[in-house]
Amino acid sequence: MPCQVVWVRDGPDAYGYGFGTLPGHPEHGEEAFLVSRDADGRVWFEVRAFSRPATWYAKLGGPVTRRFQDWTTDRYVAAARGLG
């Protein structure tokens, strides 16, 4: 799926990036991943996403498309948990 990195955060207590879709992707939107450490030393992992359909088939997919996005996010979180 055509995407590009649109921002990077590289600090002492946080690292992350966001990528946005490019023409040819079935959705218009961005997704971001951020790992941070709070003052108590706890580590947090955030996934943020927003999108809207960009193609007729994404629009036609409706709830199925949304469920696929939710499933993908769940996989990201499960993979991050496996790193700990």
Q: How far apart are CA 18 and CA 82, in angstroms?
A: 22
**Residue showing tokens 């193609």:** 55
Quick one: pLDDT at residue 76? 82
Q: Are 29 and 52 in contact (CB under 8 A)?
A: yes
Q: Which domain holds residue 24?
A: 3-81
Q: Nearest-CA neighbor of 27 among 64, 2, 63?
A: 2
Number of structural domains in the chain: 1
Q: How far apart are CA 50 and CA 40, in angstroms?
A: 30
Q: What is the pLDDT along the chain (84 residues), one digit of tens a residue?
A: 899 999 999 999 999 999 999 999 989 999 999 999 999 999 999 989 888 899 888 888 888 888 888 898 888 888 888 876
Q: Nearest-CA neighbor of 8 among 18, 50, 49?
A: 18
